[in-house]
Amino acid sequence: MNYKPIITKTYEVEAIKHLQLKTFSGDIELIGHDENTIKVEVYATVRSLFTFFLIKDPLLTFDYDAQDLTMNVVDDTLFIYNKPNYLNIYNWFNFQKTSFRVFLPANIHSNTKTYGGKIVLKKLEGNHGFSTWGGNILLEQTLGNIGGSTMGGNVDVLKCQGNVEASTMGGNIFLAGNNADIKIDTKGGNIYVQNNEGTIHCSSWGGNIDAFNVSGGFECNTAGGNINLKNVNGNIGASTKGGNIRAEVNGISQYAWFDTAGGNIKVALPLEQSLDLEVSASRVRLPPLQNFSGYQTKQSIRGKLNGGGANVTIKTLAGNITIYNADFASDTFKPNTPPKQADNPKTEAPPKFTEKKTPEQFQERPINTAKPYTESKPFSDNENAVHLKPNYNIYFNVVFCLLVGYAVTCVIFFTVATSKLPLDFSDVYQDIFYLTLMSSLAAIAAIYVFLNFVESRIPPIDLVKFMPLMGCALLFGNLFHSALSSHNEAGSLWAFDMPAAIYFYFVLPVIISWSYLFYWLRTRSITRKISEQEYQLLNLEKLKSKAQLDALEARINPHFLYNSLNSIAGLIHDKPDKAEEMTIQLSKLFRYTTGRTEESFHTFADELEIIKAYLTIEEVRFGHRLTYTIDCDESILDEKIPRFLLQPLVENAIKHGISKIASDGLIKVNITVQEGNIVIKIHDNGPDFGESFGGGFGLRSIKEKLKIVYGDKATIDIKNQPEKAVIIIIK
């Protein structure tokens, strides 16, 4: 739309809240502005049969006979609709494209659709949906909820906030400079992510996934491509059904998992961080681990590093795993380079990313260039392309081909010898051993070349793979038998036994090669199905634990609110000032505790702030009857624990201890590190615990949380001697 509009209309937005725009084949641009009006610009171009539809000419006026165009306001919605008039003979010889550029205020929602053009959304707030059958999508500096799809174009998301959900059937996806919750999907293209914060879920059926400088949450999966991650932080997940994974992780919040069905995994981890490690592969390589407890073999590792912490799971069914320390990991990362595309926006990228070209109208706000990285050692070997390496074993290949070759030859020649077929192989009986050996060696060479250099470059359709392998088998069959004939006094087999020559030169190498390929494809299919089931089970376990924690927290919050409101209700008539103060403190407390509802964990410092706010509320209620002290080792203030782990224990101390005595109530919260274990001690000077204490919801919820999160690595004890206390030990 680099030419003048042929129609311009302006609408006041007093009563308009929604925009519905649909065009047959043109482009759509929605741009947010600060004015209280909606400005609609209409552009039209035509391609003629007489120029073979190669030349695009802008129209100076709109032809209402050839195109239907309506723009009207109904209730609170502005409707814009355009389609060709197929009854007009003009449209039989000309192709008109009608595009729209609309300037919207921030409070307008929209829904747009085009059947062939591209869609651009810039500087928008609110809810916006979009759909195009083949054009590209550009989302830039948007807020609110954005969602839609394209059948085959590319998707670019730049400097957006809020929620974004987009999909494409086969195009590439590019994310840069966002701080949003993003969910993206492509059915065959590649995904590139750089300089992003927030939560990202991305998937591809067969393309590669590259991520650079990402923090928050990043989970991705691809059906067969490679995954490359650099400078990622937070909760991380990566799964591929056959490709390789390379990752450099600088920090892990709660979990990180890497899974591939048959490829290799290279990952740099912060080995100075407290981690729960679970690693399994054909071969595991890693540096010596300090402060590690558990078991470690050449194929698997399971245990706790630095006392245990964030959960790290790394699995490959047939490949190798190499683990490095992130402190010494590569500072240079070379992901697969995204292709240059004329219609996609340019974003200045780190040195190892190829810049994407941008149309002129999208160049006014480039993404800031990230700080360059220096060369790295761990990933320096074969840094350039990472190819899909099949699960191939040369020793098994040799044994398999030899056994199949001699078995087939035995069956064929015994059948010929005992039947009445007009074939006589008596001239080659003495050379059967060497002829079969050459055919088997030819099949071995053909399989090796095909699986390591050819298979990954042809379409991922099993039946298609048999023909290229047959060509390799015929080529190597002739080469090996020619070498044998040159050392045979009788010369070539063609000279005295053509049926035997056809069998050994052509038929047998192909039979052996196809037999191995059929076995290899079946094995890989079974392996992938097993991997998918393991991946689904892993996700189900994570979702189950998350749901259990959310359920416990949802029950704790109403429980605390109920008791607090009862306390306020008791003070409203007698002590309204204190009731007002308690209400203010309660508001502050819930504003703090509900601001991070997506997180199941927070630090000791956050939990102690909750306890202080709660005890401040109770001080108003009890007055001189309550005093408290809180003491925590400064070295663990930033350690993560489940939300609302300690507050119910302090609440129980108030309910079953302080409320039972007339004066001088005391609560002590003491958190220390002893012999590498975290010891949490909550003491009150109220009456001793009764035999039935422990059956209430508060204490049961704590026990359930500890069991879900720590398993048998955490204990809780209730003691009356030498002093009354509830003690939690986290190992």
Q: What is the per-residue pLDDT across 674-699, written as a single tens digit (0 to 9) for each?
A: 988 999 999 998 888 876 565 555 67
Q: Which of 61-65, 252-256, 428-432 has the lowest mean pLDDT?
A: 428-432
- 279 vs 299: CA distance, rounded Å: 8
Structure tokens at 700: 């049961």
Q: Which residues of 369-392 are buried (b: 16+ CB within 10 A; e: fewer)?
A: ebeebeebebbeeeeeebebbbbb
DSSP-derived secondary structure letter, 597: T
Q: How confident is the model at residue 591 (pLDDT cuts 50, 70, 90)?
A: low
The pLDDT value recorded for residue 378 is 35
Q: What average pLDDT does the segment 553-569 reach?
A: 64
Highest mean pLDDT among 40-49, 190-199, 285-294: 190-199
pLDDT of 533 over the 70 cut: no
To the nearest whole number, what is the mean pLDDT of the chain?
A: 79
Chain position carrying tokens 């010898």:
417
The pLDDT value recorded for residue 647 is 81
Q: How confident is the model at residue 123 (pLDDT cuts 50, 70, 90)?
A: very high
Q: What average pLDDT does the segment 164-177 reach?
A: 93
* Helix spans in 52-207 (H): 90-93
Which one of 1.10.10.10, 3.40.1710.10, 3.40.50.920, 3.30.565.10 gives the CATH number of domain 620-730?
Answer: 3.30.565.10
pLDDT of 183 over the 50 cut: yes
Distances in whole angstroms, Cα of residue 483 to Cα of each of 434, 438, 442 = 12, 9, 11
Q: Which of 58-72, 430-444, 670-684 has the lowest mean pLDDT?
A: 58-72
- 64 against 538, higher pLDDT: 64
pLDDT of 110 over the 90 cut: yes
Tens of pLDDT, residues 642-651 = 877 888 888 8
Q: Which residues of 622-647 are buried (b: 16+ CB within 10 A; e: fewer)?
A: beebbebeeebeeebeebbbbbbbbb
Q: Taking CA 536 as the corner, what is the angle to CA 389 and CA 308, rounded to the nearest 5 degrees?
A: 90
The pLDDT value recorded for residue 553 is 54
Q: Using CA of residue 492, residue 498, residue 504, residue 505, what is the dihedral sign?
A: positive
Tens of pLDDT, residues 204-229 = 987 899 999 999 999 999 988 899 99
Would you kindly state where each structural domain of the chain is located, as residue ranges?
Answer: 219-333+373-388, 394-535, 620-730
- 635 vs 673: CA distance, rounded Å: 9
Taking the alpha carbons at both ends of the chain, their separation in whole angstroms is: 64
- 137 against 695, higher pLDDT: 137
Burial class (CB in 10 A: 0-12, 13-18, 19+), 538: middle
Cβ–Cβ < 8 Å for 218, 193: yes
- 576 against 389, higher pLDDT: 576
User: Nearest to residue 387, comparing CAs of 263, 240, 525, 204?
Assistant: 263
The pLDDT value recorded for residue 379 is 36
Tens of pLDDT, residues 699-725 = 777 887 788 788 788 899 888 888 889
The pLDDT value recorded for residue 264 is 93
The pLDDT value recorded for residue 616 is 80
pLDDT of 548 over the 80 cut: no
- 626 vs 636: CA distance, rounded Å: 27
Q: What average pLDDT does the segment 44-63 reach?
A: 72
Tens of pLDDT, residues 302-358 = 899 998 889 999 999 878 999 999 864 444 344 444 444 444 443 333 333 333 333
The pLDDT value recorded for residue 365 is 35
pLDDT of 181 over the 90 cut: yes
The pLDDT value recorded for residue 289 is 87
The pLDDT value recorded for residue 340 is 43
Rg (CA), the chain: 35
pTM listed for this prediction:
0.50
Chain position carrying tokens 């609440």:
651
Q: Which amino acid is at 423?
A: L
The pLDDT value recorded for residue 642 is 84
- 251 vs 237: CA distance, rounded Å: 13
Give the list of residues 6+ apart from residue 3 with CB closer than 8 angstroms, or none. 43, 58
- 318 vs 177: CA distance, rounded Å: 37
Q: How many CB atoms lie within 10 A of CB 320?
A: 15
pLDDT of 418 over the 80 cut: no
Q: What average pLDDT does the segment 232-242 reach?
A: 91
Q: What average pLDDT does the segment 177-197 reach?
A: 93
Tens of pLDDT, residues 453-505 = 888 777 767 788 899 999 999 999 888 877 776 655 545 555 556 777 787 78
The pLDDT value recorded for residue 377 is 36
The pLDDT value recorded for residue 61 is 80
